[in-house]
C-alpha cells in the first residue's frame, strides 16, 4: 500500500513526532510512504519525497515540521481539489494522512468528497477542534506561555505593575484559560466570555489593597486591542499596566513529552487504519483515549467551553 503524509496549516510542536510515527509504523507494516512537502501546496507542486526510516531520524524532539507546511489557497477552489485528487491518484497514493488543524481538516474533507481516502490527526496549538480534547502542540504552547508568565511576573512584582499578556488561540480561549490556571493569572479574557472590564479592574484594585505586587491578565488575541485596554485599566486603577504580546514563539519549541507521546500514538493509529477501505476519518483523544470520528461529523462538532474551569480560575485568583 502507498500512504501519503503531509503537515498543513499553522505548525504545532509535535507534528514531527506524529510524522515520525506515521513513517516508521508504515514501513514496519510493509507500506510505501510518501512525504508531501509544504502542506497541500506540495501536491500541486508534485513535491513528493519517498520516506525511509532515516528520513525521520532525530526529529521527535524538534518543533516546526521537517516537511514544511502552508495554508493552500488552491485547496479552497473546486478546480484545485479535483486537480489535487487527480495528482494523488497518478502518484498511487491510496490513503492520505493529514496532520493539522481545522483548515487542514476542511481540505481533507474536500478531497474525501471527490474520492480520496483521508485520515486526519489534530495538530494545532489553539486546541479549537471540538471533537477532541488535546490537539498535538497545545500543551507545549501552554508550557511556553507559562515560561513567559513566570518571567513577566518577576518584573511585574519588582515594579508593582499589572501586565497584560496576549496569547494566540483565535476564537478559542483554551491557551489563555489553561495557562491562566497553571500560571496563577489574576484574570483571563477569552472569546467564550468576552471582556468584563469591571471584573478585571476590581481584581486589580482588590489585589492592590492587599499589597499584591503583580497582576497578570491573559488575553486571547483578536478580542480587544491590548494597548488600549492597558491604558484604560491604568486610568481606572492607578496601577501601571504593561503589555507583552507573545506571538509566534508560542508555535515553536521543543514538544513536551506528553505531546510527543500523543503524536506518536495518533500517528501509529492512523497507519493501522489504512486498509482496503476508503477512509474519511478524524482521529483524536476523547474521554482520555484515541477515538476515530467521521471526518465531516468531527468538523461539525462545536468546541465546548469549560465554564467550570473558568469559574475555578475566577475563585482561586482573588
Ligand atoms: O492556528 C494557529 C495559529 O497560531 C493561531 O493561534 C493564530 O491566530 C494563527 O495561527 C496565526 O496564523 P499565521 O501563521 O497564518 O499568521
Tell me if domain 2-137+255-300 and domain 138-252 are identical in fold: yes
Residue 202's pLDDT is 96
The best mutation among 8, 10, 15, 176 to test binding of ligand 1, ranked by most ligand atoms within 8 Å of the C-beta, falls on 10
77-91, pLDDT tens digit by residue?
A: 999 999 999 999 999
Distance 253 CA to ligand 1 centre (A): 15
CATH number for region 2-137+255-300? 3.40.50.450
Categorize the per-residue pLDDT at 318 as very low, low, confident or very high, splitting at 50, 70 and 90.
confident
Residue 3's pLDDT is 98
Predicted TM-score of the model (pTM): 0.97
The answer, yes or no, to whether residue 41 has pLDDT greater than 90, is: yes
284-305, pLDDT tens digit by residue?
A: 999 999 999 999 999 999 999 9
Ligand 1 nearest-atom number relative to CA 250: 4
Query: Where does ligand 1 bind, in terms of residues with CB under 6 Å?
Result: 10, 101, 124-126, 168-170, 221, 251
Ligand 1 nearest-atom number relative to CA 12: 2
149-191, pLDDT tens digit by residue?
A: 999 999 999 999 999 999 999 999 999 999 999 999 999 999 9
The answer, yes or no, to whether residue 222 has pLDDT greater than 90, is: yes
Closest protein CA for atom 15 of ligand 1: 10
Q: Would you say the C-alpha torsion 106, 283, 191, 142 has a positive or negative sign?
A: negative
Residue 90's pLDDT is 98
The answer, yes or no, to whether residue 1 has pLDDT greater than 90, is: yes
Residue 124's pLDDT is 98
Share of the chain above pLDDT 90, in %: 99
CB 199 within 8 A of CB 251: no
Query: According to DSSP H, which parts of the chain are helical?
Result: 15-28, 41-44, 78-90, 102-113, 138-159, 174-183, 197-209, 226-237, 257-272, 295-300, 307-316
118-138, pLDDT tens digit by residue?
A: 999 999 999 999 999 999 999
256-277, pLDDT tens digit by residue?
A: 999 999 999 999 999 999 999 9
Closest protein CA for atom 14 of ligand 1: 10
- The dihedral formed by the CA atoms of 220, 222, 227 and 233, expressed in degrees to the nearest 10: -60
CA distances from 28 to 16, 126, 276 (A): 18, 32, 18
Ligand 1 nearest-atom number relative to CA 128: 1
| Multiple choice CATH, 138-252, 3.40.309.10, 3.40.50.460, 3.40.50.1970, 3.30.420.40 | 3.40.50.460
* Structural domain boundaries in the chain: 2-137+255-300, 138-252
Q: Look at residues 186, 183, 189, 173 and name the one whose alpha carbon lies nearest to residue 149.
A: 183
Amino acid at each position: 500500500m502507498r500512504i501519503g503524509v503531509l503537515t498543513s496549516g499553522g505548525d504545532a510542536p509535535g507534528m514531527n513526532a506524529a510524522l515520525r510515527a506515521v513513517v516508521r509504523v508504515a514501513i514496519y507494516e510493509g507500506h510505501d510512504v510518501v512525504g508531501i512537502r509544504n502542506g497541500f501546496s506540495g501536491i500541486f507542486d508534485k513535491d513528493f519525497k519517498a520516506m525511509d526510516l532515516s528520513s525521520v531520524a532525530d526529529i521527535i524532539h524538534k518543533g516546526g515540521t521537517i516537511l514544511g507546511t502552508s495554508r493552500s489557497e488552491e485547496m479552497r477552489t473546486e478546480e484545485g481539489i479535483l486537480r489535487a485528487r487527480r495528482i494523488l491518484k497518478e502518484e498511487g497514493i491510496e490513503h492520505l494522512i493529514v496532520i493539522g488543524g481545522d483548515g487542514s481538516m476542511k481540505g481533507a474533507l474536500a478531497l474525501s468528497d471527490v474520492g480520496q481516502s483521508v485520515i486526519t490527526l489534530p495538530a494545532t496549538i489553539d486546541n479549537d477542534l471540538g471533537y477532541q480534547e488535546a490537539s498535538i502542540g497545545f500543551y507545549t504552547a501552554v508550557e511556553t506561555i507559562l515560561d513567559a508568565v513566570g518571567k513577566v511576573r518577576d518584573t511585574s512584582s519588582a515594579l508593582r505593575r499589572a501586565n497584560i499578556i496576549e496569547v494566540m488561540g483565535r476564537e478559542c480561549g483554551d491557551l489563555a484559560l489553561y495557562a491562566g490556571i497553571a500560571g496563577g493569572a489574576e484574570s483571563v479574557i477569552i472569546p467564550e466570555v468576552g471582556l468584563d472590564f469591571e471584573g478585571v479592574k476590581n481584581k486589580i484594585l482588590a489585589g492592590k489593597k492587599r499589597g499584591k505586587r503583580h497582576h497578570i491578565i491573559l488575553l486571547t488575541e483578536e478580542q480587544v486591542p491590548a494597548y488600549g485596554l492597558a491604558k484604560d485599566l491604568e486610568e481606572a486603577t492607578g496601577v501601571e499596566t504593561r503589555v507583552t504580546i507573545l506571538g509566534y514563539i508560542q508555535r515553536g519549541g521543543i514538544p513536551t513529552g506528553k505531546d510527543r507521546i500523543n503524536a506518536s500514538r495518533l500517528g501509529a493509529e492512523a497507519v493501522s487504519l489504512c486498509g482496503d477501505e476508503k477512509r474519511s476519518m478524524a482521529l483524536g483523544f476523547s474521554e482520555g483515549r484515541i477515538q476515530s470520528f467521521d471526518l465531516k461529523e468531527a468538523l461539525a462538532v462545536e468546541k465546548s467551553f469549560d465554564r467550570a474551569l473558568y469559574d475555578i480560575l475566577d475563585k482561586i485568583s482573588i
